[in-house]
Amino acid sequence: MATGRSIEQRMQALGIIESQLEENFARSGGPGGQNVNKVSTAVTLRHVPSGVSVTVQDSRSQAFNRKLARERLLDAIERRREKERAAEIARREKLRRQRSPRPRALKKRILEGKRRRSKLKKLRTNVDD
C-alpha cells in the first residue's frame, strides 16, 4: 500500500502522532554476522491506541529497520481502517435492504411459487393414501 507520500505525510493523513508509537529494540537473528549478534537491530513498533504492532529485522541497520517498521505499521493501520470502513458500508447496505419493502411483482412471484409448491405437495399426499 506504500504510496508516493512520505512517512510523515501518511502519519498526518491517518492522524497518528509520534507520541502514540511505542518502539522497542532487540537483537535480531539470522544472517548479518557479528553485527546482529551484538547490536539491537530488530525493531518492534506498536501503535498504542489501536494496538497494531509490527516487528522488523530485515536489515543489519537499526535505522533502516525503524523506517521499514513505520512503513509497515502505517500499511497495517490503513488496511485495518479500510476493512472497518468496508464492514460499516456493508452493514449499512444490509440494513437498507432489510428496511425497504419488497416490490409488489416480486411478492406476487414468491406467493405464486408457494401456491405451486403447495399444490404439488397436496398431490403427493393423495397418492400415498
Domain of 80, CATH number, reads 3.30.160.20
Could you tell me if residue 82 is inside a domain?
yes
Could you tell me if residue 62 is inside a domain?
yes
Picking from 18-22, 27-31, 58-62, which range would have the lowest pLDDT averaged per residue?
27-31
Q: What is the pTM of this model?
A: 0.70
Which of 73, 74, 57 is CA-nearest to residue 65?
57
Cell, residue 8: 510523515
Could you tell me if residue 21 is inside a domain?
yes
Could you tell me if residue 108 is inside a domain?
no
Domain count, the chain: 1
Q: Please give the pLDDT value at position 26.
A: 86
Distances (CA, A) of 129 to 64, 124, 125: 83, 9, 7
Burial of 22 (0-12, 13-18, 19+ CB in 10 A): exposed
Paired with 22 in beta bridges are: 46
Residue 45 has phi, psi (to 5 degrees) of -120, 130
Interval 38-65 mean pLDDT = 90
- State which residues form the domain around 38: 7-102
| Chain segment 69-109, per-residue pLDDT in tens | 999 999 999 999 999 999 999 999 999 999 998 899 999 99
Could you tell me if residue 110 is inside a domain?
no
